[in-house]
Amino acid sequence: MPIFFRANKTQPLTYGEMDQNLGSFFYSSSIANGGRTLQLHYTGSGNVPINQTPHEVSLVSGIQVGQNRRVAFYSGSNSLDTAEGLIVSSSTSGVSLGVNVNETTDLPLSYNLEVSGSIRASAAVFQSSDERLKDNIQTIDEALSKIVSSRGVTFDKDGGKHSGVIAQEVQKIIPEVVSEDNNGYLSVNYNGIIGYLIEAVKELKAEVEELKSR
């Protein structure tokens, strides 16, 4: 946060003028209140008594008490807004970043990046899938039966209509695409279902070709 000192000339003081004016009154500075306050300490000059208490300049304002791990950000005003935004959570597994999450119910974060709300990308989102990074690669068997056993649903959430699957149902059929967070809620890796869809289509194609050959 910049601090501007102005004189009666209605213009900012130059560095030289700062030395000539402020240097006569302040001899050092320090930071107090956890980095929120700048303290300017007086000299023992004839102009100011030596026992004068430090002059304190607030460096930030608007930060609420108790917002642990919240990353403060400017909201277009003179104050810092911490009611929403970014929050950092550290654990033995590393550092995680949350966007619009609730520090009361969502900490510690379960994933490296958690977003409460929609995510928009103007280009493709790529997931690492190089063969050299994978072990024990096996083709999916009986993919068609697992897809047929799954259920596609529509549902209402956050004031809108959505489509997808139910995590508890998928967990019984394709458990590797379901994960559980620190609060016991289940999430589905929808990309992980793509492999089953590919193999299911191939199984259908084989059945169709067998029927045609009869």
pLDDT score recorded for residue 187? 96
What whole-number distance in Å separates Cα of residue 73 and Cα of residue 94?
A: 23
pLDDT score recorded for residue 61? 60
Higher pLDDT pick, 7 / 37: 37
3-state secondary structure string across the chain: CCCCCECCCCCECCHHHHHHHHHHCEEEEEEECCCCEEEEEECCCCCCCCCCCCEEEECCCCCCCCCCCEEEEECCCCCEEEEEEEEEEEECCEEEEEECCCCCCCCCCCCCEEECCCCCCCCCCCCCCCHHHCCCCCCCCCHHHHHHHCCCEEEEECCEEEEECCHHHHHHHCHHHEEECCCCCEEECHHHHHHHHHHHHHHHHHHHHHHHHC
pLDDT score recorded for residue 32? 75
- Which range, 10-24, 32-46, 89-103, 128-142, is most confident? 128-142
CA-closest candidate to residue 189, choices 204, 173, 178: 178
User: Does pLDDT of 8 surpass 90?
Assistant: no
User: Does pLDDT of 42 surpass 70?
Assistant: no
Lowest mean pLDDT among 56-60, 77-81, 89-93: 77-81
User: Does pLDDT of 167 surpass 70?
Assistant: yes
Residue % of the chain over a pLDDT of 90: 41
Give the pLDDT band (50/70/90) at residue 1: very low
User: Does pLDDT of 72 surpass 60?
Assistant: yes
For residue range 123-162, what is the model confidence (pLDDT) as tens digits?
Answer: 998 999 999 999 999 999 999 999 999 999 999 998 899 9
pLDDT score recorded for residue 116? 86
Domain ranges of the chain: 15-58, 62-128, 140-213
Give the pLDDT band (50/70/90) at residue 100: confident
pLDDT score recorded for residue 51? 59
pLDDT score recorded for residue 102? 78
Higher pLDDT pick, 186 / 28: 186
pLDDT score recorded for residue 27? 58
Give the residue-averaged pLDDT of 77-91.
68
